[in-house]
Structure 1
Amino acid sequence: EEAVTGADIVVLITEWPEFTALNPDTVGSLVAQRVVIDGRNALDPHTWTTAGWRYRGLGR
């Protein structure tokens, strides 16, 4: 959570559970912009977009 505080964009490049299990609403309260690039396609796009995030999965 410390790494995303104030971020304009979040880029996920790992499948580690401590990152893939983050709650999009909780993370959304920390970032400046709700934009996520999922470089591993490890997140559920529906969950993140429903929480107000612009989601992009590489290769999708």
Structure 2
Amino acid sequence: QPYEQQLLLQQQQRQYEQQLLQQQQYQQQLLQQQQYQQPVIQQQQCQQTIIQQQPYQQP
């Protein structure tokens, strides 16, 4: 049982790191695009934030 739990934790950690990378890339894109489409991008950012919080809510 501890072993499976460890696997799950590692999996979530990897998932989390991937999401961090995606978010960094996303924020870079944000910076590049901000001058052009600010309102649209703010909306997307809200959605992105919600997606990122989900892993923490898993029991």
TM-score by length of 2: 0.25
Greater share of strand residues, 1 or 2?
1
Q: Which structure would you say has the larger Rg?
A: 2
TM-score by length of 1: 0.25
- Which has the bigger relative contact order, CA under 8 A and spacing at least 6? 2
